[in-house]
Amino acid sequence: MSRKISISSAAWPIRGAFTISRGSRTEAIVLNVRIEENGIHAQGECVPYLRYGETVDSVTEQIQSIQSALESGMNRTELQTAMAPGAARNAVDAALWDLEAKKSGKRAWELAGVTMSPATTVYTISLDTPEAMESNTREHSDKPILKLKLGGKGDLERVAAVRRGSPDARIVVDANEAWSKDIYQTLIPVLVKLGVEMIEQPFPADNDEILTELERPIAICADESCHDRNSLAKLVGKYDMINIKLDKTGGLTEALAMKKEAEDLGFDIMAGCMLGSSLAMAPAMVVAQGCKVVDLDAPLLLARDCEPGLVFKGVEIAAPQKELWG
Helix/strand/coil for 30: strand
Starting at the earlier edge strand, list the strands of the sheet with 196-200. 123-125, 145-149, 170-174, 196-200, 219-222, 241-244, 268-271, 293-294
* Residue 232 CA neighbour count, 13 Å, CB half: 21
CA distances in angstroms from 86 to 110, 174, 216, listed in the order given: 25, 21, 30
Q: Check the CA dihedral 202-206-211-213 and report its sign.
A: negative
* DSSP letter, residue 302: B
**Of 221, 277, 220, 230, nearest to 250 (Cα)?**
230
3-state secondary structure 274-285: CCCCHHHHHHHH
- Active site residue ranges: 149, 245
Sequence-ordered alpha helix ranges (H) in 83-215: 87-104, 108-112, 130-139, 155-165, 181-193
Contact 293, 198 (CB under 8 A): yes
**CA pair distance 165, 102, nearest whole angstrom:** 45
